[in-house]
Structure 1
């Protein structure tokens, strides 16, 4: 496993959701329609921004009001980081766009018969 994957999977890290210029409504569109959103892990040298492929079935937006730009949301998705398939989770305050996130290495639960 890569050093970065090890670091980001070892414990929760501070994160920032989305690009600074995105409004809450644009962020909602990125999450629900485009199903891709940038998430920056702040606890790495210089910060590490990852583009998360949002998993709509595991993402929870019920606690967020995107019109008012308030509330909390839970984002989950997948990506490949340094050739390692990972799942990413983040819990974020919509007003500040900050929260905590973590990645988990994805492992095959079972092997298919050949």
Structure 2
């Protein structure tokens, strides 16, 4: 496993959402598209995550008033390693905590909704 993946897979790390801008409304638009960017602040690593909607939780999120928390989960390949990104974002600050989980090929295919023939 590559060093960056190993570092971000150990414990929780400060994250931020600021693309296309640092607002709850912009995050909601990205969620609706199924794809969000998570910036790991310690390393400066920004990851574009394909969301797995049934693993996300927005029940505590009030996007129109920028209050509450959003829980996002999705997949990405980072440095040739298949991983799941998990992040909890405070909608007031657009910051929170996140981490990566290395996945097997089968787990990644399930997360990314890839069907085997």
TM category (shorter chain) comes to 0.7 to 0.9
Return the match for 1:107 from 104, 107, 113: 104
Corresponding residue number in structure 2 for 1:69: 66
Could you list the per-position Cα deviations for residues 13-55 of structure 1 after superposition, in whole angstroms to 9, with x for gaps in the alignment?
00002326253222112112x10010000121xx110001011
Corresponding residue number in structure 1 for 2:36: 37
Corresponding residue number in structure 2 for 1:2: 2
1:95 aligns with 2:92: yes
Corresponding residue number in structure 2 for 1:59: 56
**Number of residues paired by the alignment?**
107
Flag the structure with higher helix content.
2
* RMSD, aligned CA: 1.6
* Rg larger for: 1
Q: TM-score, normalised by structure 1?
A: 0.87
Structure 1 residue 6: deviation in Å? 0.5
Does the CA contact (< 8 Å) of 2:58 and 2:70 recur in 1?
Answer: yes
